[in-house]
């Protein structure tokens, strides 16, 4: 493993994160998906295409875990029923 101190690199030129950043993707997205429960037929296409797997199953529809959703909109684009709409985040 590379050790900057042994290589003669000053500490201020090689910053290393020592604190865990609690920020989740949901903290920085500008758009968020909203599921229309009446339109959702629970086909799971949104779940299949979601790159971060934030789609969660409910008894009669799929929903979105907004803590991990990054707002990419792939679920809304792929939904064959058009049950998912992307809306602007409040305060974004």
Domains along the chain? 23-88 (3.30.70.20)
User: Buried b vs exposed e over 8-43: b needs ≥16 C-beta within 10 Å?
Assistant: eeeeeeeeeeeeeeeeeebeebebbbebeeeebeee
17-39: pLDDT as tens digits: 666 767 777 778 899 999 999 99
Q: Is the pLDDT of residue 10 over 70?
A: no
pLDDT of 18: 67
pLDDT of 23: 74
Q: Is the pLDDT of residue 11 over 60?
A: no
Q: What's the gap between Cα 8 and its chain centre?
A: 39
Cα separation, 31 vs 79, in Å, equals 17
DSSP state of 35: E
DSSP state of 15: -
Q: Which residue has 């709409």 as its token pair?
A: 85
């Amino acid at each position: 493993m590379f050790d900057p101190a042994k290589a003669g690199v000053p500490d201020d030129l090689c910053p290393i994160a020592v604190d865990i950043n609690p920020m989740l993707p949901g903290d920085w997205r500008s758009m968020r998906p909203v599921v229309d429960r009446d339109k959702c037929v629970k086909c799971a296409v949104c779940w299949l295409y979601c790159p971060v797997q934030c789609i969660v199953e409910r008894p009669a529809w799929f929903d979105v875990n907004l803590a991990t959703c990054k707002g990419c909109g792939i679920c809304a684009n792929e939904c064959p029923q058009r049950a998912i709409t992307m809306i602007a985040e409040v305060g974004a």
